Structure formats: structure tokens, C-alpha cells
Structure 1
Amino acid sequence: MSSAPGHGVICARLLLPARLVLPSLSFQYPLKLISSSVPSSKCLTVFILSYGGGLVSNDKIDLRITVEEAAKLCLLTQGHTKVFKQKDPSDRTTQTLTCTLEPRSSLLLLPDPIQPFAASNYKQHQLFHLPADDTASLIVLDWVTEGRSARGEHWNLSSFISRNEFFSPPKGEGLAPRLLLRDSMVLTGDGEAGRLLERMESQTVFATVMIHGPLFVKLEEAVLEKFRDEPRIGGRNFDNRGDFKKDDERKGGVVWTAARVRGFVLVKVTGRELEEVKVFIRGLLLLGGGTDGDGEVVRKFGEGALLCLQ
């Protein structure tokens, strides 16, 4: 077991013919890991938690994950990851997640959103190392909300940085891993109350969904097809306001885009209400299935995989 504060280790393994186990599961305060999987589960499930329901100033989380060959792992949380205010100018709350996926393995990282409180300073870095044969599959959801709106907090954070990077093995000895995709979000308060809020254009949540791998080919195509079917400026009669009103009612206050980028499907979603964004993302992840309406994610990982979107 790692002895450093905030360090954790997860290893997911498939024991033939069909038993999924966690040979390694360790953590140190302020990180807490809880496994809720049962032998009959479609995947292993681990909840990533923090004592006290959030991360305080200068907390540092370092989580190392290995998903061995053909294993299936789902990582969830039990509520928003709260980030409390920065107490000292030299303090920064950080979370680092490093995940290695072996051939034919699969990972769902579907946490509840991060909720940075006023005057908080937070940096998150998530690295994913994919196998050389590109047979691993994963879905990563990374999202952030405006803060404690009930207490009048609306993007009053000091700094929020989230970076996701995906690598494949180097093509030669002594070379560095090849970067496949890097996605970053940087939000910075400028010291003047309300200025960051003004730039947010009334949006209260921003989300990124990253999809990759052979297990989710149908889902990727369904998401891109749904985006292609969205009305475009110039594709409607501007005099017919009823058509646009119907589109707004159907999506609520959600604005989104999707594209295929270097073997990934990258989806960006924002909205005025968190619940609307939840419903929309859940609808996306239920695409790509058969006539039962469950979609690939539920059929292959179980309904519990979408806990954060309920």
C-alpha cells in the first residue's frame, strides 16, 4: 500500500473465463476508494471519494490505475467533487490520475461534476496510456459547475485547470510516448467580482465527453449522426420561428458540438441548468444500441455506470 498522503492504486483484472477482480485497491487520506462490485457484475465499479465530501486547500490526490487485458472498470463518484477555497497563496488543490489500459480492456470514467467554490484554486491532470494495438476502449466525462449557486457563487473561483491527455506507446526504443489527444479547460478569475461570470454567457456547466475504442464504434457513429442532424444556421427558414422554438424545447438550454479527432469522438456540452445537461449527456450515452433503447454503455457495463447522470 502506498504510504504517501493522497496516493491510491487500482488494478482491475479478468480471471478466465469471466470473473473480474481487484487484486490491488489501496488509498491514503484524503483519498478514499470503495468497490461496490459483485461477482455477477458486468464490470468492476470503484467510487472515488474524499473525506468530508470535498478537497480542501492544498490537498493533493495521485491515483494510479491499471486495467489489465480484457478487464472492464467503471470509476464513479458519489456526488459533486467540491473544491474549497484557497487558504494560502502558495496552496493549490490538485488531482492527478494516471491510467494504463492493456489490450482489449475498457474503462468508463463517469464522475459527478467538479464544483469549485469561491476563491478556490484547482488543477486536474488525467493521463491515459493506450496499448500499441489500439484495442482498448474508454469513455471519459470531465465537467465543471459554477459553484454554490444557493450561496450566490457563480464562477467566483480563482483558478480552474483540467487537462486530459491520451498516449500510445513510442514507436522506437528511447522515444517518448506518442500524444494522441490533449484536451484542456482553463478558467481564471481576474480579481474583479463578476467578470468571469460575464464571460460565461449565463452558462452554469461545461462538460467534455471523450469516446474511443472498438467497444464504442456504434456509439461514436450515433453521436456524430445526431450532431449532423441538428439544425444549422441557413438550414431553416428564419421567418418560421416555430421550428427554432421546437428545437429549443427539445434540447432545453443545452448547446453542444461533436467531432472526430485523431481516433476519438470529442463532445463539448454546455447549458444554463445542470439537470438539463445531465439529461442530454445521458441521452447521448444511451445511443448506439439496439431496439431496447439501452445503448452500448448500459448493455456492456450495466445501468449503474450512468449513476452520475441520474
Structure 2
Amino acid sequence: MPIPGAGNVDCRVVAGQLRQSVSSAYPLKILAPHAGPPLDDRHPAVSYLMSYGGGIVHGDRIHVNARVGSKCALVLLTQGSTKVFRPKPDTSEQTFQTIIIDVEPDALLCLLPDPVTCFKDAMYNQRQSVTLHSPTTSSLVLLDWMTSGRMSRGERWDFGKYFSVNVIRTPDRVVVRDALLLQKQDHFARRLESVEAFALIFILGPAVAEVAQAFREEHRAQRIKPFRPNATREHATEEEGIKWSVSEVSEYGIMGVAVRAAGPSTEALKEWIKRRLVSLKPVIGDSVWSMYANSF
């Protein structure tokens, strides 16, 4: 009998053809649409991670295992934000989601979900662990982001707990371990008056080296722009209000960048992310890029 909330994605190239298999158990649902023709010698694949009812109920435990075989480019998407519902009254149930992925040599993983939105008093725990089996040929784009809550309902940073851990490693060593913990008891909301969404993006490996370099160059160019205290509103850019930084990742042969961004609205941050990831289009193919871009 399948374990509730368990899912599996496996894609590999066999005799020059993409073979992708998925399985899932309630409340998790995984779909794998056709992703288009091969690109040079890379075969794109897409899987959507979804939940019945449009969200995660407290007490749910979602656990996804995935493997990306050599010559594959797997893009993991969601349909809409991951909504985390509030617990029942007088309970302290928490929600857990774990995603563990192996990326074989000469393979690419793009984990590009919509943001997590926690409802009032929700308690959410997330762990994403990616193993790059070849430091020099495995590649990764990992997007982890969240909103302040159901702003249309007046819920702003009103959840009980948000805990997200991202681990990126080789088979032998941990390269990156990044954690974010927000708890209502710490009264963090008053420090986030101008922020409605956070994003963390890891861009690692040779297949996405140009994407990482574009982030470096733009960040460097913005840092050295002269300060103009009398700039008028007409000179403001579309990026105004988005605060972001770039950090280098260079450990055990894995090269790339970590990008952190905070936006004054979810929509503004969505558009900011999409414009900068458009250089993924030739890497994952027009068809797959359209699936991702149209999810916004």
C-alpha cells in the first residue's frame, strides 16, 4: 500500500529516447506532460507537483524522491502557489514537505515552484536536498520562495511558523546548507513592513553558467551606478523596490551563485525572477519555458 503523500519521479535516456516515470499517493499528485523534442544531446522533461484541494492540510507529510539521469534536463513545477492551510482549533499539527533529488553526471535539474503561501497560524516545515553526482558536469537551478500570506484576507506575516532548509551536496560532502526560520513568537512581522515576498535562487554547474554570469554582471553594474539623490520618478526603473544580492558558490568543484531577493509585492518579484531566468530558454527548450512562464 503506498505511503500517503509519497511521490517519485525518474527520468533517464534509454537507447536515445527519454523515459520518464512518475508515481504519487494522495494528497500528492504528480503529472508529467510531454516536454518537446531533444535539444542537441539533452532531453527535456517536466513534472508538476500538485496537491488535491489546492493546498497542504496540517498533518500532511509530503515526500518526493526524484532522479535526473544523464543527458536529461528535468524541470519540476507546481500549478499555483503551495498553500498551507491553518490548523484545526486547539491543535498544534504541523505540515512537512521533503524533496530529495539525485542529479547524475551531465544532467540538469530546474526546481522552479510557485511560492509557498502560509495561511494564518499555519505551521510549515520544508526540506529540499539535492545531490550533484558530478561536481563538474551536474547542474542545478533551485528556486525557493515564499509570500507574506493571504494579503487579500488581511493576513500578512501572520503564520505560526515557516521553516525551510536547502541542502546541496556531492555524494561525499555538503556544499551548501541554507536555512530560514520565521516564527510568530519572534515578532518578526514588524521588521518586514516593506516586504511581501522572499526568494532564494541557486544557479550551479556548467549547463547554466551563462545564467549565473548574467546575474553577476547585472549585480556588479548596479553596485557601481552613481548615486542620484535628486532622481525623479520618471527615471525609476521597473526593478525599483526589489532588493537583491549575489553570493559566489565555489566548493569542491561546484561553481555558481546564490541569489537572494526581497520584493514589495509577490507580482513584482515574480516578474523580476522571470525576466532573469529567461536565459534558461535555450537550455530547457521553448516548450518547457512556456510551461514555466505561463504559470505566472
TM-score (norm 2): 0.90
Aligned with 1:251 (options 231, 236, 239): 239
**Residue number in structure 1 paired with 2:49:** 48
Displacement of 1:133 after TM fit?
4.6
Residue 247 and residue 36 in structure 1: after superposition, are their counterparts in 2 closer, same or farther (change >3 A)?
Answer: farther
Aligned AA for 1:253? G
**Residue number in structure 1 paired with 2:215:** 223
CA RMSD after TM alignment: 2.0
**Residue number in structure 1 paired with 2:7:** 8
Aligned with 2:30 (options 26, 30, 33): 33
Identity %: 32
Aligned AA for 1:83? V
CA offsets 1:247-294 (integer angstroms, 9 cap, x no match): 7433132111112123230000111111111111112112xxxxxxxx
- Residue correspondences, number: 284
Alpha-carbon distance in 2 for matches of 1:216, 1:278: 20
Aligned with 2:175 (options 159, 166, 180): 180
Alpha-carbon distance in 1 for matches of 2:256, 2:35: 31
Please list every run of 5 or more consecutive structure 1 residues that lacks an aligned counterpart in the other structure: 171-177, 287-294
**Pairing 1:202-217 to 2, within 5 Å after superposition:** 202-217=194-209
Residue 247 and residue 268 in structure 1: after superposition, are their counterparts in 2 closer, same or farther (change >3 A)?
Answer: farther
**Residue number in structure 1 paired with 2:274:** 282
Displacement of 1:132 after TM fit?
3.8
Displacement of 1:85 after TM fit?
0.7
TM-score (norm 1): 0.86
Alpha-carbon distance in 1 for matches of 2:141, 2:175: 15
Alpha-carbon distance in 1 for matches of 2:7, 2:238: 42
**Pairing 1:133-144 to 2, within 5 Å after superposition:** 133-144=135-146
Displacement of 1:211 after TM fit?
0.5
**Pairing 1:51-66 to 2, within 5 Å after superposition:** 51-66=52-67
Alpha-carbon distance in 2 for matches of 1:46, 1:100: 15
Please list every run of 5 or more consecutive structure 2 residues that lacks an aligned counterpart in the other structure: none
**Pairing 1:93-242 to 2, within 5 Å after superposition:** 93-170=95-172, 178-190=173-185, 195-231=187-223, 236-237=226-227, 240-242=229-231
Alpha-carbon distance in 1 for matches of 2:193, 2:236: 17
Structure 1, 37-46 or 90-99: larger mean CA deviation: 37-46
Displacement of 1:72 after TM fit?
1.4
Could you say what secondary structure the match of 2:222 adopts? Answer: coil
